[in-house]
Amino acid sequence: MVSNRHYFLYNNKTTLIILIFFAFIILSCKNSEDKRQETSKLWDYNSELIIDDFEADSINADIVNINSEIEHETSEYNQGKKSLKVHFKKDEKISGIEIEPSTPWSLDPDKKYCLVFDAKAMNNQSAFLTAEIYNGEGKKTRRIVSVRPNTFKSYYFEITTQEEDVNSGLRDTPPAWETDAIHMKISGLLYLMDFSQVSKISISRAQGLKDKTVLIDNIRIVESPDRDPNFLKGIADKFGQNAKRDFPIKIHSDEELKSKADEELKSLAEYTLMLDRCEYGGWKDGPKLKATGFFRKEKVDGKWGLVCPDGHLYFSIGLANVRMANSTTYTGIDYTDEAIKHRDPEDITPEDSKGIIDVPLEIMKTGHVVNKLRNDMFLELPSLDDPLANHYSYRKESHFGPIEHGQTFSFYRANLERRYGEQSKNSFFKKWLEVTENRMRNWGFTSFGNWIDPAFYHRNNLPYFANGWIIGDFQTVYSGSDYWGPMPDPFDPEFEKRAKKSIDAVSEEVKNNPWCIGVFVDNERSWGNESSIKSHYGLVLDGLSKGKDSYLKQQFMKILKSKHKTIANLNKAWKTDIISWKALESGVDYKNLKDYNEGMVVDFSTMLESFATKYFQVIHDALEKKMPNYMYMGCRFAVWGITKEVRKSAAKFVDVFSYNYYKEGIGTKYWKFLEEVDMPTLIGEYHIGAPDSGLFHSGLVHAANQEDRANMWADYAHSTIDNPYLVGAHWFQYLDSPLTGRAHDGENYNVGFVSNTDIPYPPMVKKAKEVNSNLYNRRFNNTSQNK
């Protein structure tokens, strides 16, 4: 028999156990709810529209699968609830999902919103994703992010662009409110758009290098909180770094900066050239080929390669844009003296390629604030009597942004002077030349890329590429995708005159130096693209709309008259009713036609090829006459601007094709054409950035952090080294963009191997040495040694 006392204790023990059990259940539920809140409710808001939480028994019919595989996945962070597992496939033009409702979602036009989703990349690999949101008119805005591996995080996309975002002059701004969620960055430009109606949402990858799997959950549109009114104030410290955030290589004092420099200089003094390299950086241990005294190309055992002046096989791996021209940022100040704004019409150097311009003190004294939003970004800028005031400059024009011209400052140059001092005028610059070359050789790079300071040209320590631009007062034509501006009319005699003048200047700079590999002329021209007939033949359509005073139109008339003989024959082929050759000569506008028949397209193709052929021939002939010992490296085609006719025309005249390709690496499908063209090809630009640099934007391709960034760089580099048609790859660029945006167009990207304090990123350097030390064995390991 149990006593009352024991019964009481027993009952209390039982009650206690039961209470503990229920407390555990309640606590577990609360913890689960807390986890839910961590990924769902990121800030206080009054409205939220759930697009899909994936808890239905089947996947929503509004979700369209695009070259991917999707399935439900039980989510461990939310008590067995479901997520969408998306298998993004490599090498597809687009792989991902679209969500398109039968009726657009409606948003309050008086409120501001974000697109938010929770995601986790699987298999210990980050995943670079693009999210797009379409308004009621079908116009879209696009943001990008690296989804972190192995843990769910929330990612937010500001749908509502605000006036201060555009007026900031930044490619993208820092987060405007406190949150643990990750801020997705704009891909393209910031525009004010109406999103009172949302017609479609997509999450995708474009031409990924590897298969990636991502869990996606809780896609929703959330009302944005109030912004911190000071989120753009005081963001840059005296070194041009992020003043509001710490990061691994941040500099805190002049003394620390000098100490870092001394430490690196000691390390660089002990370096030796990699043992398998010849003087020019070629493969000393490889086959000995014909030595011509200059760089050339040759196909060896089925692989294209470059050949050193001394006859060794050579692969050009290096860093581009090693110069000060793009290191300046607008301060928000301009001068009242108009003399500083004058531009010489005979100038052959574009504004964004100019270095520091000395501004007379009397003109600087007329400085006044023209953009307070920008001027307030800086905690400290040198006074006019400060020794560092020599790093002020002036930009006469911008390509894009709220400031058309104005005062600029180069924090990078100022930091170099802080690092090395100035024993004589610009002695810090001479030290920079030496240190930069030593770094390149120490890190195993074999050359510079495009756009380097000509001061490197005759130091004869690292091979390089020269570059020229053809700018001038010649007629132009538009392709319809003219981000960098219109195309020159190559049939205008002024174009040929300016081409010769530019190449004469390049020749004078190079002076027949064997360390120069070749010459790039122009960059990312707007040739059109093959996404539609209108986009493909935009140059032709614009040319046809011009009158008889157009040199291009005169050429098109010759082509059409020669083929069709009579206007009746042309009308029959084109299914048009043009009255006469004279009417055609006066201009016909077919830019807005809905359908282009086969007869038109055949002739458009002929005219486009004629256009491109003339362009490349003019440049080739000028180079051949003035610089016959150097390879013509082409115009560095942009991935968004190339067509089959242009490629065919270029192949007749360039020695090496060049492409700027901002993706994760060189896949197979897009690059299949290399087999058909069978010419040496070089990647002129690519980059990858990460959010742990202190900068506000990671660039055109994102990694999760600096370690991930280094691994992605290696993957890209290996994809070029392993391709038998590629003879080089150049990372863009040597140094990070300015925190507050480069003066040319506001790019504020983490794209450098070094920061704006000239501190190398350790993971990038370590990985570069690892990849580059095995460069030639990996590239040519099957090449015969008996040549």
Q: Which amino acid is at 306?
A: L
- 274 with 770: CB under 8 angstroms? no
pLDDT for the residue 787: 39
488-497: long-range contacts at Cβ-Cβ below 8 A with a sequence spacing of 24 or more? 488/615, 489/550, 489/551, 489/552, 490/611, 490/614, 490/615, 490/618, 491/551, 491/552, 491/554, 491/555, 491/614, 492/551, 492/552, 493/551, 495/470, 495/618, 496/618, 496/622, 497/472
Q: For residue 249, what is the DSSP state?
A: T
Query: What does the block give as tokens for 616?
Result: 């490349």
**Buried (b) or exposed (e) across 55-88, using 16+ Cβ within 10 A?**
eeeebeeebeebebebeebebebbeebbbbbbeb
pLDDT for the residue 546: 98
Query: What does the block give as tokens for 571?
Result: 């009308």
Rounded to a whole number of angstroms, the CA Rg of the chain reads 29
pLDDT for the residue 784: 41
- 626 with 614: CB under 8 angstroms? no
The values of phi and psi at residue 751, to 5°, are: -120, 0
Contacts with 386 (C-beta within 8 Å, 6 or more apart), sequence order: none
* Regions of the chain short of the pLDDT cut 70: 1-40, 75-80, 782-787
Nearest partner of 324 among 288, 291, 303, 353, judged by Cα: 353
**3-state class (DSSP) for residue 659:** strand
pLDDT for the residue 19: 42
pLDDT for the residue 303: 97
Query: What does the block give as tokens for 53?
Result: 């939480």
Q: What gap in Å lies between CA 241 and CA 233, rounded to an integer?
A: 13
- The torsion of the CA quartet 399, 401, 406, 410, rounded to 10 degrees, works out to -80
Q: What gap in Å lies between CA 5 and CA 161, rounded to an integer?
A: 72
pLDDT for the residue 492: 98
**3-state class (DSSP) for residue 148:** coil
Bridge partners of 319, per DSSP, are: 448, 731
Contacts with 427 (C-beta within 8 Å, 6 or more apart), sequence order: 420, 421
pLDDT for the residue 78: 56
DSSP-based helix, strand, coil % in the chain, nearest 5: 30, 20, 45
pLDDT for the residue 75: 66
pLDDT for the residue 10: 36
Q: What gap in Å lies between CA 726 and CA 720, rounded to an integer?
A: 6
User: Beta-strand (E) ranges in 75-160?
Assistant: 82-88, 95-99, 105-106, 113-121, 127-135, 140-147, 153-158
Bridge partners of 430, per DSSP, are: none
pLDDT for the residue 641: 83
SS in 3 state form for 414-468?
A: HHHHHHHCCCCCCHHHHHHHHHHHHHHHHCCCCEECCCECHHHCCCCCCCEEEEE
pLDDT for the residue 62: 94
Contacts with 398 (C-beta within 8 Å, 6 or more apart), sequence order: 351, 404, 405, 743, 744, 745
Query: What does the block give as tokens for 535?
Result: 């986009």
pTM of the model: 0.93
pLDDT for the residue 426: 92
